[in-house]
Structure 1
């Protein structure tokens, strides 16, 4: 790397190296919120800041420049031990008093890079604090260093100090950019000060909007979370719609569907989820089951059954009783009895109670499979756990009646009649059966 003299050299070379290291350290933080690299985050502010305040910065002497250049070369070659040894020699040669404030600031700046590279973040922070404690250093250097200090506190999850450091940086900067507001919003978010977090991320988004630039996806995500935490459903929905316009992803369709549900917009709720399903985004079984439920709620049982059938066959939906029950119920509501039966058979076989056998018996009856209906309902009643034994016995009585087992049918209807919820229907069936038996006797007598 070519070195430049005095302030230009410090800004472009020595200071740039630790800054790049800082970017590596805060990669996760920046990637989560989409921050611009640190150097660009403050580049515009430096020029404006320098016009506000003029400092008489001491000169960088040749012998100091040469030693710093030697230490920098070692650091760039990843020979950190040699780089640190050179810096130690500079400090101890004549003591710190032998270096002026600007020279000492550059020494600490390079120390910071070395500690960064060693992942010794506390010592890196202390080195940066030593940089800004030097009098009469270039204002741009102090501004950039304070931003790096704030980032380092955030990396160490010391949110309070990170916020304080960043606020000091804001005080020194004429035109903070959007990335800095998002960083501050993240700090407040971590401290659960959601009002301040929202104010700052909204500021960042509006700054980009005003310039005709597309705000980062992560910024919208932070805003979405904060709106939701404040139970601001309209703005949550609006943010999700923007995310889908510019950053279409499954999670946003699913979340938007849920939010439409909160607003009682059932048609929009179904449409959002259906869009994700049609694009093959709903790869989780639970999401597909939700899709099926939405179809059922919208009285579209055939589509619900198709979703369940496909998911159960390809294994994306868990092979358990409840899911087969949903599939069987959907097929039955769609008047697809032949498809409902095998689904409900699997549901019943995987169930620990008799409820699904009772319901299976009902489906068998719909399909004119009376003997199977009798067997299934009796199995369900003997197993126990049937929610409405009275209705199960009504169905059992009908199946016995259809197979001309009239005495068993009568006993089933009489048992059902003991529950007042079914007594009326049971009495009607007994009356009908008696009249039918009388009709048959009359025909037999000629």
Structure 2
């Protein structure tokens, strides 16, 4: 009995993956091959091929079933039948039949290493699209365990762990991935960092760490808002730093409500920085939150007070500078220098702050270094600013703020 020679197109289908299979029809059904199929099988598969050419995939699958019904099939014949079945089932949108067929193809032992990896990846993707996470995890796991190194597959495995609620595994996997990406000089995926943050909701320190990473690589307004709103609740945080938090919000363009402008300007006045208060008040008027509504008169009184205090400070500056220079410790020079800085006189203010820090004996050295770092940044001295921020070690929130200012200093250019 003469046997038909059937193309080993199944190998090619497997290598291409299931995503390519849906649009692929085996047209070379009778090309030369080392192995052959029985005439009844060859005929049925040929008829299936003709139906598939006409995009009649369901009818083609019927012919594949006819081929499968032939008794006494060899291992090769079963392999060809399942390869064909998988192709037409995928084209017909019958993923259940397709994945079962391709699992049989994998089990045939006829695929090379690269072909198997391609099939594992495709099976994992198909099962994932079918919401069969356990099966998707099995096939993605085989892909990785047998040498596959596509980072997208590792990301999918992490996504599956997240959907299964295995946050311990997710945290471990993503943390390792983030370290590897950073070491390689690449940006960690935003989706990974979001999953990490979501998995850390019950771990305050871990959550903040994840949000810091998100803010570092994806400095979106909502990430910054979340991070800064949580800062005052951090253990050991000092309320005296509220003005510094507002300064960062201002730098980020996150002053929004009338209460934001009102509180920051009042805090600046209380800190003896009327020039800074004036700037904030002017911004409030420009933003349209001051000078309107039932509180308009109050806003005007605040503006007048800031202007009056700023004028008085200007007159007192020469004596204040003489007193600060005469003092044994440098706190006065630092404070005076920062007053110049917030009024826009960066060179003079920075010089005084540097002199004050050099004197030592500061009442709050971390505050002084934080403010000098801010001054450097506002003056356009980014490298000096980052270097100074790295020296801030206070456990009262100053080190946190310095770290956040570093993130802001290193923000991507628009």
Q: With structure 2 as the length reference, what TM-score do the two structures score? A: 0.50
- 1:195-250 deviations in whole A, cap 9, x for unaligned? 10111122333333343333333223323333444221552243134324xxx433
Which protein is richer in helix relative to its size?
A: 1
- Quick check: 1:125–1:152 contact (8 Å CA) kept in 2? yes
Partner of 2:253: helix, strand, or coil? helix
Shift of 1:110: 0.6
1:181 is aligned, of 148, 154, 158, to: 154
Larger Rg: 1
Partner of 1:150: helix, strand, or coil? helix
Report 1:11-410 matches (<5 A): 12=12, 15-16=15-16, 18-20=18-20, 61=36, 80=55, 82-93=56-67, 95=69, 97=73, 100-115=77-92, 118=93, 120-171=94-145, 173-231=146-204, 232-244=206-218, 248-263=219-234, 264=237, 266=242, 269-277=245-253, 288=257, 291-292=260-261, 295=264, 298-299=267-268, 303=280, 306-307=283-284, 310=287, 333-335=302-304
- Quick check: 2:11–2:111 contact (8 Å CA) kept in 1? no
- 1:414-442 deviations in whole A, cap 9, x for unaligned? xxxxxxxxxxxxxxxxxxxxxxxxxxxxx
Compute the RMSD of aligned alpha carbons.
4.6
Unaligned runs of 5+ in 1: 23-57, 314-322, 338-446
CA separation of 1:83 and 1:200: change in aligned 2, threshold 3 A: same
- Quick check: 1:305–1:331 contact (8 Å CA) kept in 2? no
Shift of 1:167: 2.8
Shift of 1:152: 3.1
Aligned residue pair count: 271
Q: With structure 1 as the length reference, what TM-score do the two structures score? A: 0.47
Shift of 1:114: 1.6
- Quick check: 1:270–1:295 contact (8 Å CA) kept in 2? yes
Following the alignment from structure 2 to structure 1, what is the Cα–Cα distance between the partners of residues 172 and 213?
15
Following the alignment from structure 2 to structure 1, what is the Cα–Cα distance between the partners of residues 262 and 163?
36
Following the alignment from structure 1 to structure 2, what is the Cα–Cα distance between the partners of residues 156 and 94?
26
CA separation of 1:160 and 1:14: change in aligned 2, threshold 3 A: closer
Shift of 1:88: 3.1
Shift of 1:94: 5.9
- Quick check: 1:104–1:134 contact (8 Å CA) kept in 2? no
